[in-house]
């Protein structure tokens, strides 16, 4: 209850500050729209079905990209954590892929993978991959050597060691990576849409901003992306609380 | 399970160490932990190993458990055609100095671990784990997590886990070191009772002379690093022994003999301090 109240108070303060800024500076709505203008635009966009149409597309890209990216990252991260040789071979490519600006890469990926949903999911998965893979690798290596010796003394197979000791030990760290990953997934989806798509919140931002000069609509799209990010992050935190034991 | 039949007969398995040498690390300038260690541990005996800090007592247990392959000599377990130990061969139960419980598992699942790793169905394993917890007085704590336990409870759980496969050999590395003196005496009593109910070969490492005299059939005194056997002192006291042997002249004589042997083997830099 108290937590909700704190959040609401902080949100109210943010809106008030935003309103004051527009009043004091006298900025026109096409540069910085006032909160009530954005709210009114949101109501219209929801009513016409426009917002949901684009949100559904982006949300499915985010969720699929996250699923593909996280699953691959956890598998690859486990392999990296368990084998120094695999780490030596793969890590330059992984770091390179992460260092290359995704904005430059996205149009190419869009062409290579047919320009459809598949391409956008892959772009999203690529940006999600890095933090989760690195977190998994670090987590796998954090397994307590004393527990590793215990498993050895009990004759555990390598597969049992991974499934029943190393992955549970890594779970809190993997969730740290997932928290970063979900927010990057939102950015990944928008970048993918900019590289070539006909619908989605990223497309809506472009249309509102450059086509219609409808800045309030662009703010509606940005706010929706923020809400998606906050919601997914909250979901990860909830699952984390359920799955990991805090000593 | 080789263990069941042998243990029920009440003997356990004998262990023989022949000229065992261990070096750490096995690299360029290794430190010798054990050297030329020869020791016969009879089946069903309760042997207590005592010695100065860092003399390789824990290393000795890890060699017997097959966790460490000695650079020299060999270790043989069993009668007739004895074989070298292999980690996880099921002949040895280990209770470590730190209880080594997994923080994300409940106590009953921690204790069931040796069984579930061996492929036993979870339901049956948990039933046996509940019984093992009862034996060490932790029936009520079965669903708790390690972070909710006191140090003593965690160490008892570690003991229950070591006993759950009913191994013919039980290795105890200062199993009750985290406890205050009185609790420790009580736990030693419980352990003695468990062993008398179902005798097996027990090797227990301790720092405490009192505990050694309370528990042992034979006390093995080790030299300072690199560890060897300095002296074996037999303890012929009737069982069950009381929590404290103070005032028992036979026990006092053994106590004095162990202390004399320890003073003999202490590393030289400690001797002046001991003399004060």
Give the residue with greater pLDDT, A6 vs B24.
A6
Domain A34-242, classified CATH 2.30.40.10, yes or no: no
What is the number of structural domains in chain B?
1
Locate the chain B residue with the closest alpha carbon to A156: B117
pLDDT of A209 over the 80 cut: yes
Asked, for residue B51, whether it belongs to a domain, the answer is yes
pLDDT of B4 over the 50 cut: no
Asked, for residue B155, whether it belongs to a domain, the answer is no
Asked, for residue B119, whether it belongs to a domain, the answer is no
Give the residue with greater pLDDT, B55 vs B131.
B131
Closest CA–CA distance from residue A161 to any residue of chain B (Å): 9
Closest CA–CA distance from residue B62 to any residue of chain A (Å): 9
Residue B126: its pLDDT value, please? 95
pLDDT of A1 over the 90 cut: no
pLDDT of A193 over the 60 cut: yes
**Contact map slice: A 68-107 vs B, CB within 8 A:** none
Other CB atoms within 10 A of residue B12 CB: 26
ipTM: 0.86
Q: Could you give the 3-state DSSP secondary structure of residue B46? A: strand
Residue B273: its pLDDT value, please? 55
Q: Measured between beta carbons, which residues in chain B are less than 8 angstroms from residue A165?
A: 102
Least confident of A29-38, A144-153, B65-74, B259-268: B259-268
Locate the chain A residue with the closest alpha carbon to B149: A247
Residue pairs spanning A and B at CB distance below 8 A: 50
Closest CA–CA distance from residue B145 to any residue of chain A (Å): 9
Looking at B102-246, which runs of residues are DSSP E strands?
A: 169-173, 201-205, 218-222, 229-234
Q: Can you tell me the distance from the alpha carbon of B1 to that of B119, in angstroms, rounded to the nearest whole number? A: 13
Q: What is the pLDDT of residues A143-168, one digit of tens each?
A: 999 999 999 999 999 999 999 999 99
Contact A146 B96 (CB under 8 A): yes
Six-digit token pair at A59? 């949300």
Sign of the CA dihedral running B142, B145, B150, B156: positive
Q: Can you tell me the distance from the alpha carbon of B167 to that of B180, in angstroms, rounded to the nearest whole number? A: 28
Q: Can you tell me the distance from the alpha carbon of B195 to that of B92, in angstroms, rounded to the nearest whole number? A: 15
Q: Measured between beta carbons, which residues in chain B are less than 8 angstroms from residue A161?
A: none
Give the residue with greater pLDDT, B29 vs A165.
A165
Q: Measured between beta carbons, which residues in chain A are less than 8 angstroms from residue B117?
A: 151, 154-156, 160, 164
Q: Measured between beta carbons, which residues in chain A are less than 8 angstroms from residue B100?
A: 144, 146-147, 149-150
pLDDT of A246 over the 70 cut: no
**Contact map slice: A 154-173 vs B, CB within 8 A:** 154-156, 160, 164-165, 168, 171
Closest CB to B87: pick one of A146, A153, A245: A153
| % chain B with pLDDT above 70 | 92
Burial of B182 (0-12, 13-18, 19+ CB in 10 A): exposed
Nearest residue to B177 via CA among B148, B206, B156, B214:
B206
Contact B88 A247 (CB under 8 A): no
pLDDT of B7 over the 70 cut: no
Average pLDDT over residues B189-212: 91
Q: What is the pLDDT of residues B208-222, one digit of tens each?
A: 999 999 999 999 999
Asked, for residue B112, whether it belongs to a domain, the answer is no
Asked, for residue B122, whether it belongs to a domain, the answer is no
Could you list the residue range(s) of the whole structural domain that residue B193 is in? 12-97+173-275
Contact B147 A247 (CB under 8 A): yes
Average pLDDT over residues A201-214: 86
Closest CA–CA distance from residue B260 to any residue of chain A (Å): 35
Q: What is the pLDDT of residues A82-112, one digit of tens each?
A: 988 999 999 899 888 888 888 888 888 888 9
Beta-bridged to residue B21, according to DSSP, are B72
Asked, for residue B244, whether it belongs to a domain, the answer is yes
Residue A12: its pLDDT value, please? 93
- Residues of B within an 8 Å Cβ radius of A: 65-67, 87-90, 92, 94, 96, 98, 100, 102-104, 113-114, 117-118, 145-147
Q: Where are the domains of chain A?
A: 34-242
């Amino acid at each position: 209850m108290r937590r909700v109240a704190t959040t609401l108070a902080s949100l109210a303060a943010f809106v008030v500050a935003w309103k004051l800024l527009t009043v004091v500076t006298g900025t026109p709505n096409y540069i910085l729209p006032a909160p009530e203008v954005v709210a009114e635009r949101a109501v219209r966009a929801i009513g016409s079905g426009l917002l949901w149409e684009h949100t559904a597309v982006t949300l499915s890209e985010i969720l699929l990209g996250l699923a593909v990216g996280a699953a691959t990252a956890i598998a690859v991260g486990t392999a990296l954590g368990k084998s120094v040789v695999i780490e030596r071979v793969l890590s330059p490519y992984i770091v390179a892929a992460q260092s290359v600006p995704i904005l430059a890469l996205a149009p190419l990926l869009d062409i290579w993978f047919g320009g459809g949903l598949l391409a956008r999911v892959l772009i999203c998965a690529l940006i999600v991959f890095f933090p989760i893979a690195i977190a998994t690798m670090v987590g796998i290596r954090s397994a307590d050597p004393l527990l590793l010796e215990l498993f050895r003394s009990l004759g555990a197979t390598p597969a049992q060691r991974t499934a029943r000791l190393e992955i549970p030990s890594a779970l809190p760290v993997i969730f740290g990576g997932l928290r970063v990953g979900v927010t990057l997934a939102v950015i990944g989806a928008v970048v993918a849409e900019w590289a070539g798509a006909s619908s989605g919140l990223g497309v809506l931002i472009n249309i509102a901003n450059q086509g219609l000069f409808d800045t309030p609509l662009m703010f509606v799209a940005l706010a929706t992306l923020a809400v998606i990010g906050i919601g997914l992050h909250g979901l990860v935190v909830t699952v984390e609380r359920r799955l990991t034991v805090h000593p | 399970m080789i263990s069941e039949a042998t243990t029920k007969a009440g003997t356990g398995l004998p262990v023989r160490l022949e000229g065992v040498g261990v070096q750490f690390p096995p690299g360029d300038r290794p430190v010798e932990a054990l050297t030329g260690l020869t020791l016969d541990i009879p089946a069903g005996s309760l042997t207590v190993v005592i010695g100065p800090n860092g003399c390789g007592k824990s290393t000795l247990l890890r060699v017997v458990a097959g966790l460490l392959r000695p650079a020299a000599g060999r270790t043989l377990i069993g009668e007739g055609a004895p074989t070298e130990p292999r980690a996880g061969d099921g002949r040895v139960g280990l209770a470590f100095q730190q209880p080594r419980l997994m923080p994300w598992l409940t106590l009953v699942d921690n204790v069931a671990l040796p069984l579930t790793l061996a492929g036993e169905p979870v339901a049956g394993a948990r039933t046996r784990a509940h019984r093992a917890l009862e034996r060490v007085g932790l029936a009520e704590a079965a669903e708790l997590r390690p972070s909710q336990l006191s140090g003593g409870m965690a160490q008892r759980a570690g003991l229950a886990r070591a006993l759950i496969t009913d191994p013919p050999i039980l290795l105890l590395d200062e199993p009750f070191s985290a406890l205050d003196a009185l609790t420790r005496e009580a736990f030693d009593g419980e352990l003695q009772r468990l062993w008398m109910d179902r005798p097996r070969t027990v090797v227990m490492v301790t720092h405490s002379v009192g505990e050694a005299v309370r528990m042992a059939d034979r006390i093995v005194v080790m030299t300072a690093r690199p560890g060897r056997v300095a002296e074996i002192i037999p303890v012929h006291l009737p069982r069950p022994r009381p929590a404290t042997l103070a005032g028992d002249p036979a026990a006092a004589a053994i106590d004095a003999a162990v202390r004399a042997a320890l003073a003999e083997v202490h590393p030289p830099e400690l001797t002046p301090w001991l003399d004060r």
